[in-house]
A and B are shown apart, each in its own frame.
Chain A
Amino acid sequence: MLSRRLFTGLVLAGLVPVPGIAATEATDRDALTRDVLLTWNRLVLELVRHTATYSPPVAARAFACTGITAWEVLAGLDPDHRKSLAGQVNALTAPPAPTAPGIDPAAAMHGAMAFSVRHYFGNTGPTGQRAMRAMDSRLAERVAEGMAEDVVTRSLEHGRDVALHIIEWARSDGGEVVENMGFPRTWALGTQPGHWEPTSKIVQQQAPLLPDWPKNRPMAMPSADACGLSAPPEYSEAPASEFHVQAVEVYETVRNLTAEQKLIARFWSDDPMLSPTPPGHWIAILLEITQRDDLPADRLADALARLGIAVSDAFIACWQAKYQFDLVRPVTYIRRHIDPSFEPLLITPPFPEYPSGHSTQSGAAASVLTAIFGDNFAFDDVTHVDDGLPMRTFPSFHAAAEEAAISRLYGGIHFRAAIENGLSQGECVGEFVNRLVTFQ
């Protein structure tokens, strides 16, 4: 069953007929360009959910790459008003300019997204491959309607050229190849007190996820440690220690969860392979706002690029700190020192605790979206309606980020320090992204 909003998106793209209602015709090429971009991103959210390598950091990188691709397609078509990210984003050079006039933005956007999505999701399963083929075919037909064949051909090729340029740029960032779903074949556990230990009974997850991710080249941050963090409370098993107090807080919170807290924990859980992941959740919010506010194509592309860069850099910064501090998860500590029968509400992710990835990337996302749309920008979040979790409404992006962050305490996944400091780290990442210039 398609969600109401997904269904609406497809109707806008002219993909599915609605009985009794004539398919909405895009009235101009800009609206069609926006709908092409929306529809591909809807598919990307599904592909992230259904492609095994797409853990949150990997997904964030793909969102950044496809977002930058979309922006560069439109920036190249109107250089007087739109500024390329070349020279602003680390190591990115100028993409190919249109070689001739008469490039159609919708066809160029489709050419770029079709090529780009197939590249980043080349390792998805047979159903994803089938879906990409179907989407390519249907949207190609849609953008060609009423257009001269040579214009369509030229535009599709230009889009592919831009996509290829971004792909070549991204190849050298360190995140291109993800083996064994991101888990190293061997791993030596830390030796310091309070080091991370496996929490899962899955063989792969006896080693932590993506320990080399901090070596990746950031996009807007100058370096992985540009948003470094202070250390978490010193590890201790003493009942009066700050560390133990924070562990007791997790334990007591989980034991006394309210229905609302459980809902919040599950709403923001965004587990890999069961959701579009935490960065995908923020992309879903953006897509929803785009439809609600009927944003033009260039504003959507700009926002996708900025949001993608923000969450991608956030995971690099966060992972740098995670492997620097290599901290034990609450479930391990609490079972050993407080209550052996402790069961967190959520599945504990297979990597070190500090800081909280949800918090860092949500802080970065909120920073960037606030810069784009303004403070106190209210929105509805319907990301998980299809999964049976009702819509939540937020007065601002920061309010949503704070809820996403604290949800990890409710879930029994993180100590408070990881949540609060993670949010601050995300804000720092967001500030680097907010310095990028796109409209001029």
Chain B
Amino acid sequence: MIRTALALTVLASPALADAPEVPRFLAETGGIAHSFTGEWEYMVGGGVAAFDCSDDGLPDLYFAGGAGAASLWRNTSAKGGALSFERGTSGAEVDAVTGAWPLDFDSDGKMDLAVLRQGENLLMRGLGDCRFERANEAWGFDGGTAWSTAFAATWEAGQPLPTLAVGNYIDPLEEAFPWGACTENWLHRPEGDRLAPPVALTPSFCALSMLFTDWNRSGVPALRISNDREYYKGGQEQLWHLQPGEPPRLYTEAEGWQRLRIWGMGIAGADLDLDGYPEYFLTSMADNKLQALKAPKAAPILPQYADVAFAKGAHAQRPYTGGDVRPSTAWHPQFADVNNDGRLDLFIAKGNVSEMPDFAQSDPNNLLLQNADGTFTESGERAGVASMLTARGAALPDLNGDGWLDLVVVNRNAGVEVWRNQGTGQPRHWIAIDPQQPAPNLHAVNGWVEVRANGVTQRHEITVGGGHGSGQAGPLHFGLMDAPEAEVRILWPDGTEGAWQTLAADRVWTLPRDGKASAAN
């Protein structure tokens, strides 16, 4: 009998060893009281910007309010302790906000905010101490009057200011026949020390997410746009060339682009299979996509992707708990290593659009932990984040600086939810990297951070954009499993490869372009 039991234990060990460790999330709002509210005009959007505006090393939070006012919450958490926030007076408490993304527009070392709205969009200049002022006029930014729902930014070669892409949704005045009434997306490029008048990215197909990303590692990011097929006619997903000094130009079928039509709601990109090229997760309704390049070794690489969501167990097409078996509605996707095992996991915010009876009303958020073989295991319920509220935007910052990524979710017509990640019970290591180069593009947007440990090289592209209404800025987090140190280097946006540096784990490191790394803690 004893021999039999031992044999079973031995047989079971490999499977147990391969199962991802599940982090325990504790619901803890830290005093935040905020909701994204509104009716039809706010059925999409509802984001959060997570970034450190108080220079204390911890991310603060700015929430879109929809019909209500946006709000900023200063992070007063003790390191490694319970979450705590205080409502701030930032100057950005405007109404009609659908989403917000942090970026250092003027490369002055203070984070600014791109605030998208149902109406005029705003660029808010960071003044320090979590205060902001309107900068549309100063920076030449035409905020328009549209229903804006997607944002991305990059620094084109040789430019002192970033190029901004703003995605716009339907014309809200089209009551009886809103379908086919997608308004134009805008591209704002620099002209001297200001932005030039925007260029329309036509055709526009009701964008809900945009991301500048170097999909083929050419050194020049392209603009990926995910569009909502509910409202466009003749539309599809899009990828735009953006060569410096040239007009934007769509990738065509002749270049290999393959038509895809989904209810595109959010984009997340990450190099999941460690081949050097990003995979992309696209959220939709009942039909999420995980796209992997079909032929990354081809020359030239064609923008042709295989949908591996089903094969990888990342399809997340219907609720996994709660008994509602109708199809899911997915919004903000984000890759992040929440259990510090060196493998990126995937969080997906879920929630019905608004009384759509063919889709799940009780639609839990997903937390898909990546297995050693590259597949995913749904762990939202075990981790404690399977909320049934109607989610939209989200962020996964380390709110209390303990090295475990926490979770913030914005819900429509319900309160914001915050969970503190209490870890897996295992003493896992991590490292966070903050690249810095001289202005412009202080934070090396569209450069890459590479971290070598445990025999593999993880790499994250530094991006501004994507998700659903939500953006995050700050040091990039890497799980290291048992490794007490890692080799780190930066691939700067101009293609320069930084030197490998060996850095101790469990710290936030600043990596200047021409100097030695320094630990912030």
Contacts of B176 in A (CB 8 A): 10, 15, 43, 131, 134-135, 138
Contacts of B233 in A (CB 8 A): 1, 386-388
Of all chain A residues, the one with the shortest Cβ separation from B316 is: A203
Contacts of A290 in B (CB 8 A): none
A53 beta carbon closer than 8 Å to chain B: yes
Q: A-facing mask of B11-50, CB < 8 A → 1, else 0?
A: 0000000000000000000000000000010010000000
Q: In chain A between 14 and 66, which residues have their CB closer than 8 angstroms to a CB of chain B?
A: 15, 42-43, 46, 49-53
CA distance A123 to B361 in the complex (A): 13
For the complex formed, measure the closest distance between the CB of B329 and the CB atoms of chain A, giving whole angstroms: 10
Known: A46-B177, A387-B234. A203 touches B325 (CB 8 A): no
Pick the contact of B261: A6, A127, A204, A274 (CB < 8 A): A274
Contacts of A202 in B (CB 8 A): 286-287, 310, 315, 317
**In the bound complex, do residue A386 and residue B180 qualify as a contact, i.e. CB atoms below 8 Å apart?**
yes
Interface size on B, residues (CB 8 A): 35
Of all chain B residues, the one with the shortest Cβ separation from A273 is: B229
B357 beta carbon closer than 8 Å to chain A: yes
Pick the contact of B180: A2, A15, A129, A203 (CB < 8 A): A2
A337 beta carbon closer than 8 Å to chain B: no
Known: A123-B357, A126-B40, A130-B40. A388 touches B177 (CB 8 A): no
B230 beta carbon closer than 8 Å to chain A: yes
List 10 additional contacts besides A53-B358, A125-B353; criterion CB under 8 Å: A52-B327, A126-B40, A126-B353, A127-B231, A130-B175, A131-B178, A135-B176, A180-B325, A202-B310, A389-B234
CA distance A291 to B125 in the complex (A): 55
A3 beta carbon closer than 8 Å to chain B: yes
B354 beta carbon closer than 8 Å to chain A: yes
A435 beta carbon closer than 8 Å to chain B: no
Known: A131-B178, A273-B229, A387-B234. A126 touches B358 (CB 8 A): no
For the complex formed, measure the closest distance between the CB of B499 and the CB atoms of chain A, giving whole angstroms: 43
**In the bound complex, do residue B177 and residue A203 qualify as a contact, i.e. CB atoms below 8 Å apart?**
no
Pick the contact of B175: A52, A131, A185 (CB < 8 A): A131
Q: B-facing mask of A243-286, CB < 8 A → 1, else 0?
A: 00000000000000000000000000000011000000000000
**In the bound complex, do residue A125 and residue B354 qualify as a contact, i.e. CB atoms below 8 Å apart?**
yes
**Which of A10, A42, A180 has the largest count of B CB atoms less than 10 A from its CB?**
A180
For the complex formed, measure the closest distance between the CB of A125 and the CB atoms of chain B, giving whole angstroms: 5
A292 beta carbon closer than 8 Å to chain B: no
**In the bound complex, do residue B317 and residue A204 qualify as a contact, i.e. CB atoms below 8 Å apart?**
yes
The contact sample of 30 A-B pairs, CB cut-off 8 A, is A1-B181, A2-B180, A2-B181, A43-B177, A46-B179, A50-B230, A51-B358, A52-B359, A123-B357, A126-B43, A126-B353, A126-B356, A127-B230, A130-B40, A131-B176, A131-B177, A131-B178, A134-B175, A185-B325, A201-B307, A201-B311, A202-B287, A202-B315, A204-B327, A274-B261, A386-B180, A386-B233, A386-B234, A387-B233, A388-B234
CA distance A411 to B515 in the complex (A): 59
CA distance A49 to B285 in the complex (A): 15
Known: A201-B309, A201-B310, A201-B315. A52 touches B358 (CB 8 A): yes
B326 beta carbon closer than 8 Å to chain A: yes
B355 beta carbon closer than 8 Å to chain A: yes
Interface size on A, residues (CB 8 A): 37
CA distance A385 to B229 in the complex (A): 16
B318 beta carbon closer than 8 Å to chain A: yes
* Residues in chain A within 8 A of chain B (CB atoms): 1-3, 6, 10, 15, 42-43, 46, 49-53, 123, 125-127, 129-131, 134-135, 138, 180-181, 185, 201-204, 273-274, 386-389
Q: A-facing mask of B300-327, CB < 8 A → 1, else 0?
A: 0000000101110001011000000111
Contacts of A134 in B (CB 8 A): 175-176
**In the bound complex, do residue A123 and residue B358 qualify as a contact, i.e. CB atoms below 8 Å apart?**
yes
CA distance A403 to B422 in the complex (A): 62
* Residues in chain B within 8 A of chain A (CB atoms): 40, 43, 175-181, 229-231, 233-234, 261, 285-287, 307, 309-311, 315, 317-318, 325-327, 353-359
Contacts of A43 in B (CB 8 A): 176-177
For the complex formed, measure the closest distance between the CB of B331 and the CB atoms of chain A, giving whole angstroms: 15
Of all chain B residues, the one with the shortest Cβ separation from A9 is: B177
For the complex formed, measure the closest distance between the CB of B118 and the CB atoms of chain A, giving whole angstroms: 15
Contacts of A51 in B (CB 8 A): 358
CA distance A181 to B356 in the complex (A): 12
Known: A202-B286, A202-B317, A387-B233. A1 touches B180 (CB 8 A): yes
Contacts of A49 in B (CB 8 A): 179
Known: A131-B177, A134-B176, A201-B307. A126 touches B354 (CB 8 A): yes
CA distance A126 to B38 in the complex (A): 13
Of all chain B residues, the one with the shortest Cβ separation from A135 is: B176
Of all chain A residues, the one with the shortest Cβ separation from B261 is: A274
**In the bound complex, do residue B229 and residue A274 qualify as a contact, i.e. CB atoms below 8 Å apart?**
yes
CA distance A338 to B326 in the complex (A): 37
CA distance A123 to B356 in the complex (A): 7
Of all chain B residues, the one with the shortest Cβ separation from A389 is: B234
Contacts of B286 in A (CB 8 A): 52, 181, 202-204
CA distance A202 to B178 in the complex (A): 28
6 tightest Cβ-Cβ pairs between the two chains A and B: A388-B234, A134-B175, A52-B358, A201-B310, A387-B234, A134-B176
CA distance A129 to B39 in the complex (A): 13
Known: A126-B40, A387-B234, A388-B234. A52 touches B356 (CB 8 A): yes
**In the bound complex, do residue A2 and residue B318 qualify as a contact, i.e. CB atoms below 8 Å apart?**
no
For the complex formed, measure the closest distance between the CB of B172 and the CB atoms of chain A, giving whole angstroms: 10
CA distance A1 to B171 in the complex (A): 9
CA distance A202 to B230 in the complex (A): 18
Contacts of A125 in B (CB 8 A): 230, 353-356
Contacts of A387 in B (CB 8 A): 233-234
